[in-house]
Structure formats: structure tokens, C-alpha cells
Structure 1
Amino acid sequence: MNAPSLSDDLLQQMLRAALAAREQSYAPYSRYRVGAAVLDELGRIHAGCNVENAAYPQGWCAETNALGHMIMGGGRRARAVLVAGPGPEIITPCGGCRQKLREFAQPTELLVLAADAGGVRQQWLLEQLLPASFGPDHLRSS
């Protein structure tokens, strides 16, 4: 596996976007604020935050919101996602978000970065977090 590389400048831009989004989080129940930044195929960064709901399953994850912003902005492929939590534990996308990310990226190509206010703490390819995944290519007719 050859992980895609991002410049330090681009990583810092993604981190700033995710941390700024995290500040806008609506998390009155868990108080666990998350921000995410998705880098699309055109090099644009789309940010999102988690939005909780009193009916817990109805909330939105930060990655889901960032992907929605990407789609609204005309992006269709995710190159990287940076998820910023409060620390000190390393945060990764939940299972549902991993599948949502899979919809817009090849598992061997999507870089997933875990960060907090101190910077990027760890990184993976989506394939490592969602092995043997099911995706759009499974539904294409042959």
C-alpha cells in the first residue's frame, strides 16, 4: 500500500478547517465536539461538524456534513479526510462514516487522518479501517 502524500501546507489547511468546524459543533448531549475536513479531487477543502439531536440516532457526524458540503460544492471524489476530536484519545470515523467515505473514494487511495488541537496524531488508508468493503463498484453491471 502506498499512502497518498499531502504537503505540510495542505495538512495545516485541513487541520485549521476541521478545528474551526469543531468550534461550531452542536453537541449539547455528549459534549463531544468533532470537526472534519474532506479534500476533494480538485484540491478543495470542505468542512463539517457533528450535530446532535435529542433523538440520538438522528444526529449527523462531522464527516457526513463535510461530505455533504463536498457534494454541494461539486466535488465527487474524496482524496483525504481529517477528523479532529477533543483529544487525548485518537478519534477515527465511526463505521457508518467509513461506509459513507467509501462511497466517494477507493479504499486503497483515501487517506484518513486523526487529529486534535495539537496536530495530526495518526493516519491510515480507508482500506485499513474498512477492510473488504462494499462499494459502488459492486453494483456496476459487467
Structure 2
Amino acid sequence: MTQTSELREAALSVRGNAHAPYSGFKVGAAIRAASGRVYRGCNVENVAYPEGTCAEAGAIAAMVAEGETRLAEVYVVAGSPAPVPPCGGCRQKLAEFGAGDVAVTLATVDGAERATTIAALLPGAFDAGHMA
């Protein structure tokens, strides 16, 4: 099994746990940290929509909770006709923990995939260097 297929399996598996009673749009994310360890997250909706959590944010939170802070690879899967990119907030979160060249695979449950990078998802990302 390739590293990317391992992430796909993890993202598909956790997607089943998504709490999406309002939109019905379930998303799963799996990220590989620099250590090689895989962390998973799924979207968790709330009746007050802005208060929900995206799958990517959940996976990043799980990684940080375990003491890791660097992304090596990202895989996001949704039940959509075409691969769905992360929202703007999650693009910034990915840029916080991963270099611009970190591979991001966007996928559908049916197997369609689109390969990209953090930098391509968020060109000109705001970072700590802007605060100096």
C-alpha cells in the first residue's frame, strides 16, 4: 500500500463518522505528520452553522494534541461529483503547519482525485513573517 493510499483509506474511514445532519455533506481528512504518523478528522456540524468544525481542522487539531506541528501530506475526501478544495480557513490552517510544497490530494468517494499543494491552494499565504 502506498502512503497516499493509506491516507485515502484513513480519510474514507473517518468520513463515515462525520456529523452532518443539516447539510448531509460528509468530509473526511487524513494528514501525515513529519513523523510519518497519520491523523484523521471529519466535519462536525452544529445547528449554528459557523460553529462547526471542518475535517481538515479536526485532523490538524488531533496532530497538535499529540505534540506534532508539521504536515508532510494531506488527503481530503467528500461525497461530491468532483474533488472539493478546503475552505479558506482550512487553507490558512494547512499553511500554518505545512510548507508550500506539501502534497494535497482532493478526492471523491468514487475515486476521482486532484493533486495540488498547499501553496497552490493558498498563494501568497499570510504567515508569521508578515508580523515582524
> Which interval holds the TM-score relative to the shorter structure?
over 0.9
> What is the count of residue pairs matched by the alignment?
132
Gaps of 5+ in 2: none
What percent identity do the matched residue pairs reach? 40
* Residue of structure 2 in register with 1:87 after alignment: 80
Return the offset for 1:74: 2.0
Residue identity opposite 1:88 in structure 2: P
* Residue of structure 1 in register with 2:36 after alignment: 43
1:98 to 91, 96, 103: 91
Superimposed CA distance per residue, residues 67-108 of structure 1 (whole angstroms, 9 cap, x where no aligned partner): 00111122110111100000322111110000011110122x
Give the aligned CA root-mean-square deviation in angstroms. 1.3
Q: Is the 8 A contact 1:113 1:120 kept in 2?
A: no
Gaps of 5+ in 1: 1-7
Residue identity opposite 1:129 in structure 2: L
Return the offset for 1:120: 5.3
Moved more, 25-34 or 75-84: 75-84
Q: After TM superposition, which residue ranges in structure 1, 4 or more long, deviate above 6 angstroms?
A: none
Residue identity opposite 2:23 in structure 1: S
Residue identity opposite 2:128 in structure 1: P
Structure 2 matches for 1:11-90, cutoff 5 A? 11-90=4-83
2:109 to 114, 117, 126: 117
